[in-house]
Amino acid sequence: MEGYERFMWVIENADGLKARLWRVQQEAVRHLEATLLEESGAEPGDRTPVLVAGRLSWVHSTLMAYIGGEMAAGRGAAEVSRDALVLLDDIEDLLGEKVLNYARRAAE
């Protein structure tokens, strides 16, 4: 994607922007924790929603770091997206059934 290298350079060299992006990520995890708590009906004191939100945040940050690095290196979006799907499959293999099936909704 044309110009992506410059965009990533700006992010990497702007401490304030990096700090803000980190804060947004932390807010997203807190919102995900709350959603998982609500959807799962977890009991008070059950740390599972927090742990699952952390795992999902790890998945997201790992994929975003991979995609960002590959795009910054000048690779094409179609090629990077195919490789990111392979990476996602590898990540899925590392996650247990408890994470993969947590707070799953019944089919309608």
- pLDDT for residue 80: 94
Residue 17 domain-assigned? Answer: yes
What does the chain come to in residues?
108
| Cβ(29)–Cβ(57) below 8 Å | yes
Average pLDDT over residues 51-70: 95
**Residue 108 falls inside a structural domain:** no
pLDDT at 42: 94
Share above pLDDT 90 across residues of the chain, in percent, rounded to a whole number: 69
How many folded domains does the chain comprise? 1
Both structure tokens of 15: 């401490």
107 in a domain, yes or no?
A: no
pLDDT confidence of residue 7: 81
Measured CA to CA, the distance from residue 40 to residue 51 in angstroms comes to 13
Pair 56, 32: CB distance under 8 Å: yes
pTM of the model: 0.82
Domain carrying residue 90: 4-100
| pLDDT tier, 3 (very low <50, low <70, confident <90, very high otherwise) | confident
d(CA 2, CA 7): 10
